[in-house]
A and B are shown apart, each in its own frame.
Chain A
Amino acid sequence: EIVLTQSPGTLSLSPGERATLSCRASQSVSSNYLAWSQQKPGQAPRLLIYGASSRATGIPDRFSGSGSGTDFTLTISRLEPEDFTMYYCQLYDGSQWTFGQGTKVEIK
């Protein structure tokens, strides 16, 4: 079973700053099936990025994804107030789906 480890657990930043969130896989994976989701308190997750770098429909261009192999990154270029929440990476390995444990982006 592939394990996804997200870091940091909590990221403290100010509005307007750049956020860099990491997702590391326990073994090399296909970037085609790496996704990122955002979850606000009391809400279902929302898809941000699929295929490691493609933005989902309606997602602002301040969100971008990159990476390959075992290391993937979600970047938020300029944090807006509504961006301070939880983020999860997600992987499909051909038979199962796995989530990382999440990164919380909080206001500094």
Chain B
Amino acid sequence: QVQLVQSGAEVKKPGASVKVSCRASGYTFTNFYLHWVRQAPGQGLEWMGIMNPTGGTPTYGQKLHGRVTMTSDTSTSTVYMELSSLRSEDTAVYYCARDCGGAGSCSHAFDHWGQGTLVTVSS
């Protein structure tokens, strides 16, 4: 079955960077784009960006553009999200999610999600 397994919780100081991983299994990794979504405590969902696991330039959300970098490693079926210059407001659960594809599939909805990674930014 499709699984997205993320790395463990992180505690970082303001100004530092964090790198979260998301390892995919149960499907052909290169056939589906992957998103990153975050959720601050008690808040809603915020889309961060999408990447093609085979490479190419990711598309980032406007709010985090310039601080976020998404990469992939096809040899391990893993995508990474690195967020730099961390601030307290970056404290959130970070999710990876699979894009199910365009027409003929489920129309770019997110059909599978990782379990989430809590990133806490605190001095």
Contacts and interface: CB of A to CB of B under 8 A. Distances in A.
Q: Do A and B come from one complex?
A: yes
B109 interface: yes
Interface of B is mostly: loop
B47 A45 contact: no
Interface of A: 1, 32-33, 35, 37, 39, 44-47, 50-51, 54, 56-57, 88, 90, 92, 95-102
Given A45-B113, A97-B47, A51 B61 contact: no
Interface of B: 35, 37, 44-47, 50, 59, 61-62, 95, 97, 100, 103, 106-111, 113-116
A100 B106 contact: no
Contact of A98 (B47, B100, B113): B47
Contact of B107 (A32, A39, A46): A32
Nearest to B103: A32
A44 B95 contact: yes
Given A1-B62, A45-B113, A96-B59, A51 B106 contact: yes
Q: Please list the 8 inter-chain residue pairs (A to B) with the smallest Cβ-Cβ separation, ordered nearest first.
A: A44-B113, A35-B109, A50-B109, A50-B106, A97-B47, A99-B45, A92-B108, A51-B107
A45 B59 contact: no
Contacts of A50: 100, 106-107, 109
Contacts of B61: 96
Contact of B45 (A1, A32, A33, A45): A45
A32 B101 CA distance: 12
Contacts of B109: 33, 35, 47, 50-51, 56, 90, 92
A99 B59 CA distance: 16
A81 B38 CA distance: 27
Contacts of B116: 44
A96 B37 CA distance: 12
Contacts of A1: 62
A107 to B, nearest CB: 19
A95 B50 CA distance: 10
Given A1-B62, A44-B114, A97 B35 contact: yes
